[in-house]
Amino acid sequence: MEDIYRSLDYFSNYKEELETLIWNNTKNTYNRDTTHTYYDCTNYYFEINYNDTDLVDEEGNIIEKSYRKRGPEKNHRPDPIIQMGLLMDSNNIPLAYDLFPGNESEKSSLRPIHTRTKIKFNLERTIVVADRGLNTSDNIYSLVGDNSKEKNFDGYIYGQSIRGADKEFKEWVLDQNGYKVDKVVDIDGHVETFRKAIFNDQGQIVGYEQAEVEFKHKSRIYPKELTLKVGDKRNKKVRTDQKQLVYYSQKYADKQKRERNQMIERAKDLIKNPKKYNKLTAAGSAAYVNNLKFVKDTGEIANGLELSLNIKKIEEEEKYDGYYSIVTSELDMDDFELRKRYRGLSKIEESFKITKSELESRPVFVWTKEHIEAHFLTCFVSLIILRLLEQKLNYKYSIKKIINSLKNFGCTEEFSNIYMLFNNSEVIEELNNLYHTDITKKRISKSHIKKFLN
C-alpha cells in the first residue's frame, strides 16, 4: 500500500504529458472526431467534516487553492467536494479534464480547458456542446467573438433556460405561431413511442397509454446581446447572431409534472411538520414554500414562520412544462440536427456515472493535493481505455459488462510454468480475436503470457 501511495506522488506530475500521449496515439487509430466536443462538470465528495484551507502568503494573498470545499453537491450531501470538468470528443472519448475547488462556480471552468486543449492538440474549429449552466455571455464570446468572418472562431450549442429567460423569450416560446409538428423516428425509420402518463384532477398518475413521440418545434435567428466583464465591471455590450430553437415534448412534460408533484407533496408536509425538515432535507420542495427561512448555524427551519404553498410559482412553472430550448452559433444547422447534437451530452453524464460506480472514484479517501490529482488521473485514463474498448467492440457491450468480463477473467498456476485460464466470456473471445492474444485457450505457458504482454 505504501508503494501505491508513493506512486501517486510521481504520477501527479504527468497529467498534461499523459493527456497528450494518449491523444497522439489514438487520434488516427480510433478516428477521433473533434468537430463537436462535449463539456460538462460533476463533483465527488470526501467523507470529512471540514474544508481544506488555502495556502496564503504573509499578506493574505492566495498562493494555491485547496480542492476540498463545501459546495452544491449533486446529491445534496453536506460533505466537502471537489469538482471536475470533462471535455470529450464526438465519439464520447475523453480529451482532457480539470479539477477545481468545490466552492467555485462551474461557469468559468470551460474557457481554460477549451483553450488549452485546442493549443495542446492542435485542433481545428470545434463546436462546444454544453448544458445551460455553461450558457453565459463570457463563454459565448470566448468561442465566437464578434462573429467576424476573418477569424477562425469556434462555435457552441448550449441549453437555454426558459423559466429564467427574459419576458420576450418566454412570450415567443408560448406563442403557438410558427411551431411545426413532426414524428420522431429511429435509425430504422420507425416512429418512436413512449408510455404517456394519465393524470387525474389532483395531478396524480392513474395510468399509462402508448403514444407516438412528436417533435413540436420552431426556431429563429435572433440578435443576442452579450454583457461582458472588463476589469472589475461588467459593462461591455456586444451583439452576436444566435439561432434559438424551442421544442415541446409530451414525455418531458409528464416528467416535469411528475417530479414537481412529488416536491409539492413534500412541501405540503413541510408546511404541516416543519420540525421534520432542515435545509438539506428540504432541498427541492423548499422552493414551493412561502416565507421559508433557515437558521444559519444549524440549517433548521426557523420558528414562528407563517408557511404556505407558493401557488403563484407552481402556476408559472406549469406554463412551460414540456418546453425545452437550445441556442447555437450555427445559424444554418437543421433543427433536428441541433437537437441530436445536444442530446449527445447524455454520454458525458454516462461517463461521470461510470467513474462514480464502476470505477469507484468516490468517496475519495486520499487527502494531499498530489494524491487527489493522481487519483483522478487514474480514473481518467481508465475511462479512456474503457471507451476505446467499447469502440473496438463496435458498441455491442455495455461498459459494465466489459469491466466485469475483464475483472472475472484470470489464470492460476496449475503446474510448473503452466497456467490454467478461467472465466472466459464472449467479451474476452472478441478481444482475443481483435488483439490476437491466444488467451482463450484452457492452458497457457508462462513464456507465452510474457510474449503477448510484450
Closest alpha carbon to 349 in 128, 86, 81: 86
146 vs 124: CA distance, rounded Å: 19
CB 371 within 8 A of CB 8: yes
Degrees to nearest 5, angle at CA 23 with 18 and 27: 160
| pLDDT recorded at residue 362 | 78
CA dihedral 272, 277, 282, 288 (to 10 degrees): 20
| pLDDT recorded at residue 298 | 86
Distances (CA, A) of 41 to 69, 102, 106, 113, 151: 16, 11, 7, 12, 29
Closest alpha carbon to 331 in 223, 225, 246, 241: 241
| pLDDT recorded at residue 18 | 94
Other residues' Cβ atoms within 10 Å of the Cβ of residue 196: 16
Cα torsion 419, 454, 355, 82: sign: positive
CA dihedral 439, 440, 446, 449 (to 10 degrees): 0
Residue recorded with cell 494531499: 368
Look up residue 53 and give its DSSP letter: P
Closest alpha carbon to 251 in 216, 279, 202: 216
| pLDDT recorded at residue 194 | 63
Degrees to nearest 5, angle at CA 310 with 308 and 314: 150
Q: Which residues pair with 248 in a beta bridge?
A: 216, 323
pTM of structure: 0.86
The DSSP result for 205-233, as a single string, is: EEEEEEEE-EEEEEEEEEEEEEEEEETTE
Distances (CA, A) of 361 to 51, 75, 84, 107, 354: 20, 15, 12, 24, 9
CB 311 within 8 A of CB 289: no
3-class DSSP string for 154-172: CEEEEEECCCCCCHHHHHH
Other residues' Cβ atoms within 10 Å of the Cβ of residue 219: 21
User: Residue 291 contacts by C-beta under 8 Å, 6 or more apart in sequence?
Assistant: 305, 306, 307, 308
β-bridge pairing 180-183 and 193-199: unpaired
| pLDDT recorded at residue 150 | 44
Q: Along the 454 residues of the chain, how does pLDDT read in single tens digits? A: 677 777 888 888 999 999 999 999 999 999 999 999 999 999 998 888 888 888 877 777 887 888 889 888 877 778 899 999 999 999 999 999 999 999 999 999 999 999 999 999 999 999 999 999 999 999 999 999 865 444 568 999 999 999 999 999 999 999 999 999 877 665 555 666 667 677 777 666 777 777 766 678 999 999 999 989 887 778 888 999 999 999 998 888 988 999 999 999 999 999 999 999 998 888 889 999 999 999 988 889 999 899 999 999 999 999 999 999 999 999 999 998 999 999 999 999 999 999 998 888 877 778 888 889 999 999 999 999 999 999 999 999 999 999 999 999 988 888 888 888 889 899 999 998 888 877 778 888 888 878 777 7
User: Residue 453 contacts by C-beta under 8 Å, 6 or more apart in sequence?
Assistant: none
CB 156 within 8 A of CB 142: no
Distances (CA, A) of 81 to 67, 103, 146, 372: 8, 8, 37, 12
| pLDDT recorded at residue 393 | 94
Is 441 strand, coil or helix?
Answer: coil
Q: Give the rounded distance of the alpha carbon of 276 from its chain centre.
A: 32
Residue recorded with cell 470551460: 110
Q: How many CA atoms lie within 13 A of 426 on its CB side?
A: 5
Other residues' Cβ atoms within 10 Å of the Cβ of residue 147: 14
342 vs 130: CA distance, rounded Å: 8
